Amino acid sequence: MSDTVTIRTRPRGPEQLPSPTARTVKRLLRQPITMIAVLWLLVVLVCAVTAPLLAPFDPNDNDFTAVLQGPSAEHLLGTDENGRDVLSRIIFGARIALLVGVGSVIIAALIGIPLGLLLGFRGGWYDRIGTRFIDIFDALPGMLVAFAVIAILGRGMLPIMLAIGLIFCMNIARMTRAVTLAERGKIYVDAGRVSGLREVSLLFRQVLPNITGPLIVQGAILVGSAITIEAALSFLSIGLESTTPSWGGLLGVAVTKMAVQPFMIFPPGIAIVLTVLAFNMLADGVSQALGSQRRRRLRRTDRAAARAAGAVGAAAAPDADAVLQVDDLTVTLFSEDKRVPLVTLDHLTVGRGEVVGVIGESGSGKSTFARAVLGLLAPNLHITGGTIRIDGKDMTHAPPSQWRKLRGGTIAAVFQDPMASLSPVHTVGAQLVDTLRAHRRLSRRAARVEAAALLERVGVRGAAKRLDEYPHQFSGGMAQRVAIAIALASEPALLVADEATSALDVTTQAQVLDLLLDLRDEYGMGILLITHDMGVVAEVCDRAAVVYSGSLVELTDVKSLFDAPQDPYTVELLAARERRPRTIEARVPASEEVTS
């Protein structure tokens, strides 16, 4: 038998993807605004590095014959109160701005990151006491801290960097602690512990690489702020010595001489604004590039789909007994340049009171099929052929308004993750009552009584009391029962259960499946059961459709599916359940004595 089985596996791309960091950088390069910001920062950087070459004059070259001049051919941006060239001072000022900005953030990071990592990772008393300490320190006004540091250490570059670093380090510590706290609970940290890794290595080699993203964002914003603070301190003339060409110092002079030479405030002002803005935009860009890791934009492709669907052939005759009838269905993926048919299905019906399974591996298109039946296809997926009839009504190209009327009425759905399908901010009772009242004319009170009865029916004990609880107060199995109760509220003719029990443990799965069967017996609805588990098919389905890479390979009643599978893929699926017997050597010899 085994040689008739062709093993069909989907090829996995052999190409090696770049590292996560490389991918983030790539995304960053695609953001035009970030690139403008980066370009400006590069200009500032080039000025800072090559200042002596770029500047037309020495920044400290006094020329008392030409003080406080406006722009001229010789002095493009004019001169200051000592007759020094403003352009040269701006160019040299870039040096100071970057040095102070980056230097103070590095100091802040060196103090803040280890502190935050330790507090967030250890938790408990360390965290409680440490965080209070940070709170107190952070509550001190930043400028006051700066004044104190400068008063003690005197003016100059290093004291300023230290002062700003101290202002920022608590901010960084707090942020690091918050992201570490989220990271600490992840299993890879546990795995590292089990491997015996030291705490230092867990912190700096395991956790830190995972939180660098948010830290870089914060760092970029803080560099901008540091430049502002340095400017403010120099403006107040307690920052750098007046011989040091700083943007803030220049601005300070310009303000006092505004009556004589109003132009002088513009060059340093614009330099500060642009540079700080550029750092903030860079931070925004990085944050977006990190966040869009999973987000992918889908483009609506209605018009193209409508054109393609114009060529739908003649539909098959409707079957009066079927609550769901699908004929020659094609669901196509529309991308920018091509159309890929994802699901093709020639014929499938679900009768009243019938349970029909759709079985396939992940990626086989079974969930896409379920979404088509529910009218919930993603905006770039469209039905391009065939018909879907629900309770005799052709819904193939029904407008959303018609689907809305049908969903939660004639058809209802239960999905894999009950928590995702329940609203976390509304009580279970409110969600049930709303659904009931949307379909039936009921007073609020009557709906509540009905809701309690429904919950009780799906096996939630003490239902009347639990109506006022929120979904997170329910266990996974209980939450799935609530989702089923909501689905049942409209007494649907067809229930689509898309992997409804896959996230549950076997005990709970059996209970939920039994519940579905009981409800089928009671209400006589048809059930379309999407699953990857042959065992579930064996336990509950009347008929089953086997789906492989988007097409139906076999549709038959359950007994013949298991006894006489026709398609080699079905055979393969069935064989997957049979496990190779354990090798005898692996057994402990003593176990034979025990069983005898």
Partner 1 sequence: MTIAPSMAAEVAYASDRSPLLEVRDLSVVYDQTGLFRRKKPPVIEDVSFDVFEGETLGLVGESGSGKSTTGRAILRLLEPSQGTIRFDGAEVTAFGRRTPLSYRREVQAVFQDPTLSLNPRQPVSMAVTEALRRHGVRDRATRRRRAEEAFDQVGLARAFLGRYPAELSGGQQQRVAIARALALRPRLVVCDEALSALDLTTQNQIINLLCDLQTEFGMSYLFIGHNLEIVKHISDRIAVMRMGRIVELAPAEQLFADPQHPYTKRLLGATPADHPDGRDERRAVRKAYAQAHADGVIPQP
Q: Enumerate binding residues for partner 1 (CB under 8 A).
A: 12, 16-17, 19-21, 186-188, 190-198, 201, 205-206, 209-210, 361-362, 461, 475-477, 505-511, 514, 517, 532-536, 538-540, 558-559, 562, 576-580, 582-583, 585-588, 590-591, 593-595
CB of 505 to partner 1, least distance (A): 4
| Residue among 64 and 125 whose Cβ is closer to partner 1 | 125
Report the distance separating Cα 146 and Cα 169, nearest Å: 13
Phi first, then psi: give them for residue 351, nearest 5 degrees: -85, 170
CB of 556 to partner 1, least distance (A): 12
Query: 201 vs 243, which CB is nearer to partner 1?
Result: 201
Q: Are 245 and 77 in contact (CB under 8 A)?
A: no
Closest by Cα among 497, 474, 346 to 413: 497
Q: Give the Cα separation of 362 and 218 in Å (integer).
A: 39
- Minimum CB separation from partner 1 for residue 114, in Å? 19
Which helix (H) or strand (E) segment is 495 a member of?
strand 494-498
Nearer to partner 1, 74 or 505 (CB): 505
Minimum distance, C-beta of residue 63 to partner 1, in the bound complex (Å):
56
Token duo for residue 444: 């609020």
Element (H, E) at 32: helix 32-49
In the complex, the smallest distance separating the C-beta of residue 119 from partner 1, rounded to whole angstroms, is: 16
Q: Pick the closer one to partner 1 by CB: 28 or 398.
A: 28
- What is the rounded CA–CA span in Å between residue 120 and residue 124? 9
Q: In this complex, which beta carbon is closest to partner 1, that of residue 237 or of residue 502?
A: 502
Q: How far is the CB of 192 from partner 1 (least distance, A)?
A: 7
* C-alpha neighbours within 13 Å on the C-beta side of residue 398: 22
Closer Cβ to partner 1, 38 or 500, answer by number? 500
Amino acid at 459: G
Q: Which is nearer to partner 1, 408 or 476 (CB)?
A: 476
- Spatial separation of the C-alpha atoms in residues 9 and 355, rounded to whole Å: 29
Kind and range of the H or E element at 322?
strand 322-334
Neighbouring C-beta atoms of residue 11, cutoff 10 Å: 5
Minimal distance, residue 295 CB to partner 1, in Å: 15
In the complex, what is the shortest distance from the CB of residue 17 to partner 1, in angstroms, rounded to a whole number? 5
- Beta strand 411-414 with 494-498 is parallel
- Angle formed by the axes of helices 157-184 and 142-153, to 10°? 140
If the CB atoms of residues 192 and 252 are measured against partner 1, the closer one turns out to be 192
Q: DSSP for 502-546, please give it.
A: TTS-HHHHHHHHHHHHHHHHHH--EEEEEES-HHHHHHH-SEEEE
Nearer to partner 1, 149 or 534 (CB): 534
The smaller minimum CB distance to partner 1, of residues 14 and 399, is found at: 14
Considering the complex, what minimum distance in angstroms separates the CB of residue 213 from partner 1?
Answer: 9
Helix (H) or strand (E) holding 384, with range, is strand 381-390
Contact 232, 193 (CB under 8 A): no
For residues 331 and 55, give the distance between their C-alpha atoms in angstroms, rounded to a whole number: 65
Kindly state the smallest distance separating residue 499's Cβ from partner 1, in Å. Answer: 11
Beta-strand ranges (E) seen in 499-542 are 526-531
Collapsing DSSP to helix, strand or coil, 542 comes out as coil
